[in-house]
Structure 1
Amino acid sequence: MTEHSATIEIAEQVDDELVAAFEMLIPQLSSSSPAPSRELLTDLVDGADTVLFLARLDGAIIGSLTLAFYRIPTGIKAWIEDVVVDDAARGHGVGRLLNEAALDAARERGAKNVSLTSRPSRESANRLYQRIGFESRETNVYRYDL
């Protein structure tokens, strides 16, 4: 597989193929999160503030990335979440293609920046983000679980 053999598209509708793809991909991303329901996928696809990118190879969905937008007093910001590429397709540029598509979409919508987080243990993902141009920030990230 070459870097350009995968194609990236924006999910426009939720069908059985999309639901099945997430049932396959989400366990590779998180052992503690269930695959999203058809209803949740519909909310993502139809949401004005979310864009669901899909990577395809030979017609099959092999990866996804969610780009979320939010408006604050100083402008529009975007956040990349839940980037996942099927184990069998990793290391061939699919993650780069997904991220570049998300950055292009964020530019088109006028976002002032795009943020993401990645666990330190995800060494190859962190190298990819740095190669693309993401910079590590000196910050404390806090989370309050509800």
Structure 2
Amino acid sequence: MSVELVTSSTPELVEAMERLIPQLSRTAPALTAQQCADLVAQPGVFLFVFRPDADAPTGAASQAGPSAQGAGTAAGAAAPILGMLTLATFTIPTGLRAWVEDVVVDGQARGRGAGQALVEAAVAHATSIGARTVDLTSRPSREAANRLYRRAGFELRETNVYRYKQS
């Protein structure tokens, strides 16, 4: 398996977004090709993608089912994108901070280390660019995700999270 830092948008990335975003959010629409390009081009925003081993005969790619069709592997081609994570970084008066957002792994590939690999890659990248902290939020009902974040070294903070919704 591998985790890659995306440096440019491709048709494969757009297709992966079409498959993965509905698994992440029931209300967020998939990104268009232009929106994918804009996302990847943002300074301080880093998109990581997960691919299973291309040569694994019974790996996540071959078990991903119909949702992964069209992103399959041909001889010598890379394995399909089956997960993604966005790392947003920003500088504030107390230093460079990082925030993990939109972690999603294809349903058929979950439980095989993809989420762990994505989180570890994001934390390593944040550390390498000097981020003082890496934060994230996760609903309590996402039990597997919360276990993953604890295993990756995240600690639960006692805080309140507020959201202002534009009308």
What's the TM-score once normalised by structure 2's chain length?
0.82
Q: Which structure's residues are more often strand, by fraction?
A: 1
What RMSD, in angstroms, separates the aligned Cα atoms of the two structures?
A: 0.8
Q: Which of 1 and 2 has greater Rg?
A: 2
- Structure 1 residue 100, shift from structure 2 partner: 0.3
- Matched residue, 2:45: 50
What's the TM-score once normalised by structure 1's chain length?
0.94
- Structure 1 residue 33, shift from structure 2 partner: 0.6
Equivalent-residue separation in structure 2 for 1:75 and 1:101 (angstroms): 21
Secondary structure class of the residue paired with 1:133? coil
- Structure 1 residue 43, shift from structure 2 partner: 1.6
Equivalent of 1:84 in 100, 104, 108: 104
What is the identity, as a one-letter code, of the residue corresponding to 1:111? A
- Matched residue, 2:57: none
Equivalent-residue separation in structure 2 for 1:110 and 1:47 (angstroms): 18
Which sections of structure 1, spanning at least 5 residues, go unmatched? 1-5
Secondary structure class of the residue paired with 1:61? coil
- Confirm whether residue 10 of structure 1 aligns to residue 2 of structure 2: no
Runs of 4+ in 1 over 3 A off after TM superposition: none
Which sections of structure 2, spanning at least 5 residues, go unmatched? 55-78
Equivalent-residue separation in structure 1 for 2:156 and 2:51 (angstroms): 29
1:62-83 Cα distance to aligned partner (Å, 9 max, x none) = 0000000011001000000000
Secondary structure class of the residue paired with 1:60? coil
Identity of aligned residues (%): 54
- Matched residue, 1:135: 155
Secondary structure class of the residue paired with 1:127? helix
Secondary structure class of the residue paired with 2:111? coil
- Confirm whether residue 71 of structure 1 aligns to residue 66 of structure 2: no
Equivalent-residue separation in structure 1 for 2:35 and 2:161 (angstroms): 26
Secondary structure class of the residue paired with 1:129? helix
- Matched residue, 1:116: 136
- Structure 1 residue 130, shift from structure 2 partner: 0.6
Aligned residues, how many? 141
